[in-house]
Amino acid sequence: MAQRPVVLVVGGGYVGLYTALRLQKKLSRGRAEIVVVDPQPHMTYQPFLPEAAAGSVEPRHVVVPLRRTLPRCRVITGAVTGLSHAEKRATVAPIEGETFELSYDVLVMAAGSVARTLPIPGLAEHGIGFKNVGEAIFLRNHVLARLDAASSTDDPQVRRRALTFTFVGGGYAGVEAFAELEDMARYAIEHYYPRLSTADMHWVLVEAMGRILPEVDLDMAAWTVKELTARGMDVRLNTRLESVSGECVVRLSDGDSFASDTLVWTAGTKPNPMLANTDLPLDERGRVVCEPTLQVRGLPDAWAAGDLAAVPDLTKGSDGATTAPNAQHAVRQAKRLADNVVLTLRGEQPVPYQHSYAGSVASLGLYKGVAQVYGVKLKGFPAWFMHRTYHVSRVPTFNRKARVIADWTQALLFRREVISLGQLQNPRQEFVAAAGSGRAGQLPPPPAEDDAPSGGGAAKAG
C-alpha cells in the first residue's frame, strides 16, 4: 500500500457522506487522501423529500453540499462507471470532459440504489420517480400546475385528468409522498381555488401487496389505509399497474382504467446497476456481498454499506438475513465502516456491525403521521411530531438542522406557500420563442415537442 493510501468513496449519499465525514475527522491529511466521487455536488437527505415536495421545507435545505462539508476530502463531481478492484482502478466519468482512471488503495462502495421498475408499457414515457430533489421540486410544481389547469378549463375531461394523481408503491417513500402532496393540494384548493372542490381530486395509491408500509405492524398499516381513505384517497391493495397509454390512461389489474396527468413510481429500489461493471462479488439481487465487518467478501481492502450492500443482520441470528435498505442502517453502517477502515489502516482488527432495527416514522401531511419505534405505536399528531424531531436530529450538519427548523418556524407564522413555479420546468421556452420570433408582430414558430409545455404525462407537464 502507498505511504499515503488513497481511500476512494464511491457515492456521496448517506453512507458516502457519513463515512467521509468520519474519515476526515479521524485521519490526518498525512495519513490518507480521501476522494469522494458522486454525480451530484450534494448529499440528499431523502426522508425530507416528501416535505420538500409539499413545501414544508425549502428543497435546498434537504441537500448537504459535499465540498463545504468535506473540506479535507477531494470531491469529484462525476460517476464511477466501473472498476477493477484486482487492479485497484476505477473509471470516472466527470460531469464534463473525458473519462479518466483513478487509482486507489482502499475502496468504499456506497453508490446506493435506483428505482426498481418493471417493463410496463408506457411507464418509462409517463412516469416519474421519487428519489431525488429534482423529482421532489418537479412534483410540487407539477401538482400545483395541475390545479391551475383544472381551475382554468370548463372541459370536464381535462379537469378530471388534471386532478387525478396516481402513485404506484406503498412503502414509506410512496405513502409519504402521496399523503404530503395530497395535503398540500387540499390546502391550496381550500384557500385559493374557489372554482375547485377537494372532492374533485382523485388520489390513487396502487399497491401490489395486500398491505402498505411493510416497515410497521399490520394494525398500523391498516390504520394508515383507513386514515387515507377517510381523507377521500383511494388505496388499491392487491392491485398492479398494467399499462399507461399515450393519452395517460392508466390501466390497473383490477380492471379499472382512468386518465391521470400524474404517475409517480415508488415501487421499490434495486442496487446501483453500475455494480455489474465491477469485479466485486454480487448476490442474486445484485448487491455487494459483505462480511459483518462491512468488508466485501474476500477483499479485505474493499468495503460496502447501505442500499447496495448485502450485510448479514447479526441481530437475526445465522439464518442468512441481511440488513434492510434504509437510512437507519445506512448511517450507522457508515460510522462503523469508517471506524473499521481506520482500525485496519492501523493494523488492528475490524469490528462487526450490529444494530437492532428501531422502527419507522412517517409523515402523512401537516400534523399527521404514523410511527412505530421500539414497539411504541403512535398515530396522528404525536407520530408527526416524532417524525420531525427524529429527522431534524438526523439530518447532517448544524447548518441544515438550523435551516430546516427555520423553515418550520416560518411556516407557523405565515400561510402555506402554494404557488407553482412552472417556468422552472422549462426556463428557456419564453426566450427561445422571443429569439425565434423574427419581426415584431410575427408569430413565433411552435416550440419543438421536447420544449413544449404539456398537460400530458408527469414527465412532461409543468
Ligand X SMILES: Cc1cc2nc3c(=O)[nH]c(=O)nc-3n(C[C@H](O)[C@H](O)[C@H](O)COP(=O)(O)OP(=O)(O)OC[C@H]3O[C@@H](n4cnc5c(N)ncnc54)[C@H](O)[C@@H]3O)c2cc1C
Residues that bind ligand X (CB under 6 A): 10-16, 37-40, 43, 46-47, 49, 79-80, 110-112, 130-131, 172-173, 272, 274, 306-307, 325-328, 330
Question: Quick one: which of 92, 109, 111 has its CA closest to 43?
Answer: 111
Q: Which is nearer to ligand X, 260 or 326 (CB)?
A: 326
Cβ 194 to ligand X shortest distance, Å: 33
Taking the C-alpha atoms of residue 423 and residue 127, their distance in angstroms, rounded to an integer, is: 20
CB of 415 to ligand X, least distance (A): 26
Task: Between 52 and 259, name the residue whose CB sits nearer to ligand X.
Answer: 52
Describe the crossing of helices 172-192 and 218-230 by its angle, rounded to 10 degrees.
20
Neighbours of 217 (CB within 10 A): 15
| Cα–Cα dist 304/416, whole Å | 41
- The CA distance from 275 to 253, in Å, is 33
Residue with cell 401531511: 365
Q: Which is nearer to ligand X, 309 or 418 (CB)?
A: 309
* Least distance CB 102 / ligand X (angstroms): 11
Nearer to ligand X (CB atom), residue 148 or residue 180: 180
Distance CA 266, CA 127 (A): 10
* Residue 21 · residue 339 · CB < 8 Å: no
Q: Which residue is nearest to ligand X (CB)?
A: 13
β-bridge pairing 249-252 and 257-259: antiparallel
Strands (E), 85-223: 89-94, 100-103, 106-109, 113-115, 164-168, 202-206
Closer residue to ligand X (CB): 47 or 122: 47
Neighbours of 189 (CB within 10 A): 22
User: Which of 51/200 has CB closer to ligand X?
Assistant: 51
Cell 459483505 locates to 290
Long-range CB contacts for residues 345-351, cutoff 8 Å, separation at least 24: 345/5, 345/27, 345/31, 345/32, 345/106, 350/293, 350/294, 350/295, 351/293
What Cα–Cα distance (Å) separates residue 253 from each residue in 119, 123, 239, 334?
Answer: 15, 15, 6, 41
Please state, in angstroms and rounded to a whole number, the distance separating the CA atoms of residues 369 and 170: 15
Nearest to 420 by CA among 63, 162, 43, 131: 162
φ, ψ for residue 206 (rounded to 5)?
A: -105, 125
Identify which of residues 158 and 373 has a Cβ nearer to ligand X in the complex.
373
Question: Which residues in 241-356 belong to E strands, given as ranges?
Answer: 241-244, 249-252, 257-259, 262-265, 269-271, 288-289, 295-296, 299-304, 309-310
